[in-house]
Amino acid sequence: MNKNNIYNLAVSGVQKLIPYTPGKPIEELERELGLTQIIKLASNENPLGPGKKALAAIQATLKDLALYPDGNGFNLKRALADKYAVEMGQITLGNGSNEILELVARAFLTPDLEVVFSQHAFAVYPLVTQAVGATAVVAPALNYGHDLNAMLQRVTEKTRLVFIANPNNPTGTLLSHADLESFIGALPATCVCVLDEAYCEFVGDNSADISIGWLNLFPNLLITRTFSKAYGLAGLRIGYGLSSPELADILNRVRQPFNNNMLALAAAEAALSDTEHLQNTIAVNTQGMQLITDGFKKLGLEWIPSAGNFVLVDLKQPAMPIYEALLRKGVIVRPVGVYELPNHLRITIGTAAENELFLQALTEVLSGHV
Ligand SMILES: *Cc1c(COP(=O)(O)O)cnc(C)c1O
């Protein structure tokens, strides 16, 4: 058999699927260019790293690694239930919140159903939709953000899922609670709404609590969150979903029995109680956002105001050559051409020192000193 024919055996959505491109790893750039001083501001990771409590919990757990983890994640679920005043049965733990996005697609979609999301929305939504052969219906963005009216207009009896990221990645745009609540309320009962709040900790106006109140109103609402961003545990892969117990029960049926590893469960539980680390993280982000956007202003560049820990800058010229010139200076940022934003770069807010190095490198690149 011709080895290419194996492709024809894959389900049709997978045949056409283009895999997600992650931010460039530091080691890869080291190998390619032989650079040593590399900073990565490409994947919205926490520049402070994990907190002390999470690290101590990981240390204390190492001795148990021969055992399977708790497949129900009891301790972490209890900590989350206490923190957010929900029932443990409303929580789904995932191998990153990405896994929750995949579980909901697998549990609810078939090839004859549709999924509505916005232009410039998180790249994983089209991927999980296509992998199960469902049809993606993309609503045009409004000022780079979600146009909820345009999305609602595209919801039909075939629409089984709607994805919304708030704040959105990569644009950093934020919807108001009032607009979101009326949008979710206007969805038909046949449509599940996934509200992806990967960056809610950075928003600051009790945002992380308000949407949870909607769980009592909307049995078709799934809120997803993660320990990868504000909590600094991206490498461990742990996130969670909050929903009605019924929706959580459905997701639980399709997940792997041990989808969360033992170190991740222990670290996430400890991280939840580390309010000091979270506050430091938010303070570093607020200061860094100011520094970087001040730098853009000095360079005469426009940016999209962001509610997350990253910012999209408009270079008004193709971004790839600038991205590559920055790489040669040891600075990894994120091109967003796959999001239909070929002239923008997404910059994760780093430490003060990293932000300075990035601005210095960008200044040199834009003035032609490449
Ligand atoms: C980073 C991110 C996620 C998922 O991250 P995990 O590491 O899988 O938890 C989900 N949604 C958005 C919008 C993100 O930016």
Q: Over its length of 370 residues, how does the chain's per-residue pLDDT go in tens digits?
A: 677 788 889 888 888 888 888 888 888 888 888 888 899 999 999 999 999 999 999 999 999 999 999 999 999 999 999 999 999 999 999 999 999 999 999 999 999 999 999 999 999 999 999 999 999 999 999 999 999 999 999 999 999 999 999 999 999 999 999 999 999 999 999 999 999 999 999 997 677 789 999 999 999 999 999 999 999 999 999 999 999 999 999 999 999 999 999 999 999 999 999 999 999 999 999 999 999 999 999 999 999 999 999 999 999 999 999 999 999 999 999 999 989 999 999 999 999 999 999 999 999 999 985 5
pLDDT the model gives residue 369: 57
User: Would the CB of 232 count as within 6 Å of ligand 1?
Assistant: no
* Cα 364 from Cα 329, distance rounded (Å): 10
Q: Residue for token digits 């996430």?
A: 268
The whole-number pLDDT of residue 319 equals 97
Q: pLDDT at position 29, please?
A: 85
Give the ligand 1 atom nearest the CA of 97.
Answer: 9
98 C-beta closer than 6 A to ligand 1: yes
CA 6 to ligand 1 centroid distance, Å: 31
Cα atoms in the 13 Å half-sphere on the side-chain side of 344:
21
Cα 198 to ligand 1 centroid, rounded to whole Å = 5
User: What atom in ligand 1 is closest to the CA of residue 225?
Assistant: 9
CA angle 235, 350, 194 (to 5 degrees): 55
For residue 81 and ligand 1, the question of a CB distance below 6 A is answered with no
Domains assigned to the chain: 5-49+276-366 (3.90.1150.10), 60-272 (3.40.640.10)
Closest-lying ligand 1 atom to the alpha carbon of residue 234: 7
Cβ of residue 122 lying under 6 Å from some atom of ligand 1: yes
CA distance 54 to 234: 12
> What is the distance in A from the centroid of ligand 1 to the CA of 227?
9
The rounded distance, in Å, linking the Cα atoms of 12 and 306 is: 37
Ligand 1 lined by 197 (C-beta under 6 Å): no
The per-residue pLDDT for 1 is 63
Q: Is the CB of 226 under 6 A from ligand 1?
A: yes
**CB of 173 shorter than 6 A to ligand 1:** no
As given in the structure block, the two tokens for residue 320 are 């790839």
Could you tell me which of 255, 253, 307, 250 has the C-alpha nearest to residue 282?
Answer: 307
- Ligand 1 atom index nearest CA of 308: 15
pLDDT at 104: 98
Distance, in Å, from the CA atom of 57 to the CA atom of 300, rounded to the nearest integer, reads: 46
Q: Which atom of ligand 1 is nearest to the CA of 122?
A: 13
> What's the CA-to-centroid distance between 98 and ligand 1, angstroms?
6
